[in-house]
Amino acid sequence: MRIATWNINSVRLRVEHVLAYLRDVAPDVLCLQEIKCQDEAFPRGEFETAGYNVAVHGQKSYNGVAILSKAPMEWTARLPGDEADEQARYLEAVIPFGAGSARVGCLYLPNGNPLGTEKYTYKLAWMDRLILHAREMLKNEEVFVLAGDYNVIPDARDVYDPALWTGDALYALPTRQKFRELLALGFTDALRATTDEAKQYTFWDYQAGCWPKNQGLRIDHLLLSPQAADRLVGVKIDRDMRAKDKPSDHTPVRVELRD
């Protein structure tokens, strides 16, 4: 099973990019974040015509997540733990895989900037909710992949200039500690299971020539349960999608799991 994640930064603006990726890479599952549209405005028909089932949890103008799957899926929206939270940031699906199934969580974790504001408090609280939910899901002892834009730079290898980011919510120590707490539940960072190399970026800002200068960040991650990690074949950052005309500022990342 090939599972990919991609912050598309407005799906309606980049339908053709997604369709090209589905055609050329043919992931079994594609998790999209920051779709920036309500459910009824999501380009479902184009993706269904391409051979994918669609689950979408949208929001007007902001946030929003979707899962595209070749196989039919059972899905639920929203991250447990705060019924008052109206931001569309989490979607979870159970998808046939081999003789059983795989559970895939698609997440768009809050940015949290600036530090010292309610936005950062919300980010940390959201991470606490994710940790609690992930702990419960791990009890199922199943193939479980948490994929998405975490808005977390795990360590210095994952940012072009760590000193510039010490005051940013993506790299602040409490953020990284929460990410490590999530990993400590038993998850494997898929990319770091395959390489220790620095500069494995997934995001390059539109400003200041960040893309041609390779001034990037690694903030899009696929975390694997022990049962998923046992099946890991490889990881690929599809950098070429960032070089397209009018691209997202993120590029897809994918894992391959053996049956």
Of the residues 28, 149, 189, 220, only one is catalytic, namely 149
Amino acid at 95: I
C-alpha 61: how far from chain center: 19
Determine whether 17 is an active site residue: no
CB-CB neighbours of 133 under 10 Å: 17
- Sheet holding 65-69: strands in order across? 53-57, 65-69, 29-33, 2-7, 253-257, 232-237
111 is in an annotated binding site: no
> In angstroms, rounded to a whole number, what is the distance separating the alpha carbons of residues 118 and 112?
8
* DSSP code, position 228: H
Which two tokens mark 196? 């220790």
**Is 40 a known ligand-binding residue?**
no
In a 3-state reduction of DSSP, which class is residue 217? strand
57 in a labelled binding site: no
Query: How open is the CA angle 33-35-36, to the nearest 5 degrees?
Result: 130
Annotation-wise, does 34 bind a ligand? yes
Work out whether strand 65-69 and strand 220-224 pair parallel, antiparallel, or are unpaired. Answer: unpaired
State yes or no: 149 annotated in a binding site: yes
Instruction: Name the residue among 166, 72, 89 with its Cα closest to residue 126.
Output: 89
- Per the annotation, does 39 bind a ligand? no
Note if 149 is an active site residue. yes
Give the separation between CA 89 and CA 75, rounded to whole angstroms. 14
| Candidate list 108, 120, 171, 201, residue with the active-site label | 108
**Other C-beta atoms lying within 10 Å of the C-beta of residue 39:** 17
Q: Out of 17, 57, 221, 250, pick the active-site residue.
A: 250
Annotated binding site, which residues?
7, 34, 149, 151, 249-250
Annotated binding site for Mg(2+), which residues?
7, 34, 149, 151, 249-250
Active site residues: 108, 149, 250
